[in-house]
Amino acid sequence: MKKKIAFELSIYKTEEELSVEDSNLLKQAVNARIKAYAPYSNFLVGAAVLLENGEIVLGNNQENASYPSGLCAERVAIFYAGANYPNEEIKKIAISAASNDYEVKEPAGPCGNCRQAIAEYEYKQKTPIPIIMRGESGPIYKCDAVTDMLPLGFNNSFLSDS
């Protein structure tokens, strides 16, 4: 037997097609991206996390001369949200990616570690966390839940037999 696992991705040509909330969040992700510290890769990423109380938490990639010590924008933002607003649900996340060396024309999906990190909060709050993504130009992708992008993901249900 084989099982096919698929998910729906919404694709928008322009920001005008987005809701006001999504479009504003994406703009905040762009603002965050501009402040990224990415002197080694020249690849800048910004993440904007919208909380249930309406607050927006921003993050960007923070690189390090010891490369693995750096952290992606998504985790900088989501961990800040978890640390400072532990009881606030995460409503959605927008991600903006650009390079100083060339034009990023396609959305850059969050890396595997970031998908896992965001998924933790989705499992915790038991409501989906949609992800809105864009490069510097080109289409905007919206995924309805981060776990859609992480099929067969690991979660705390495996850590006990209950």
User: What is the largest distance, in Å, between two alpha-carbon atoms of the chain?
Assistant: 50
x/- letters, 75..104, toward ligand THU (CB under 6 A): ------------------------------
Residue 143 found at the interface with ligand THU (CB under 6 A): no
Of these, 98, 114, 117, 131, which contacts ligand THU (CB under 6 A)? 114
Q: Which two tokens stand for residue 14?
A: 């322009």
- For 91, phi and psi rounded to 5 degrees? -85, -45
Residue 148 found at the interface with ligand THU (CB under 6 A): no
Query: How far apart are CB 155 and ligand THU at their closest, in Å?
Result: 20
Using CB atoms within 10 Å of the CB of residue 136, give its burial: 0 to 12 exposed, 13 to 18 middle, 19+ buried.
middle
Of these, 45, 49, 129, 149, which contacts ligand THU (CB under 6 A)? 45
List residues bridging with 46 in a β-sheet.
60, 96
